[in-house]
Amino acid sequence: FPLFWFNMPAILKGWMDRVLARGFAYDLSKSYDCGLLQGKLSLFSFTTGGSKEKYAVRGDIRYLLWPMQHGIMNFCGVKVLEPHICYAPESVSEEKRKEMLAAWAQRLKTLWKEEPIDCSPDWYFK
């Protein structure tokens, strides 16, 4: 998805609000390591409008991912994989866009071998 205003697009957020409902995806007494969706994996793959350097000016992009990865997915018990980020694809050469696609295709081949991220504040804010 494209990163919109430091979050997912509204249509995707609306889908998450409707599908990741209380009783199915979470229960206030069963969250994080005890969440109802234990054993599931998630991977955020998105594009940005700005370059990696532009995002780095304000700190690590992981700060922006905290609400989505930790606050939504990890809260429901889902293990989170390292995000796949394509920075400013509309601003780079066609060759670079092809490299981005090739990197995504390669990652998909080995995805099931990846270890989830820690998803603790230490991982996001170190």
User: What pLDDT, in 10s, does the model give residues 37-53?
Assistant: 999 999 999 999 889 99
* 111 within a domain of the structure (yes/no): yes
- Number of domains present in the structure of the chain: 1
d(CA 119, CA 51): 24
Stretch 13-38: mean pLDDT, rounded? Answer: 94
The pLDDT assigned to 91 comes to: 94
* 2 within a domain of the structure (yes/no): no
* 32 within a domain of the structure (yes/no): yes
Stretch 24-38: mean pLDDT, rounded? Answer: 93
Q: Which residue has the higher pLDDT, 11 or 58?
A: 11
Stretch 59-79: mean pLDDT, rounded? Answer: 93
d(CA 25, CA 87): 31
d(CA 67, CA 31): 15
Is the model's pLDDT at 6 over the cut of 90?
no
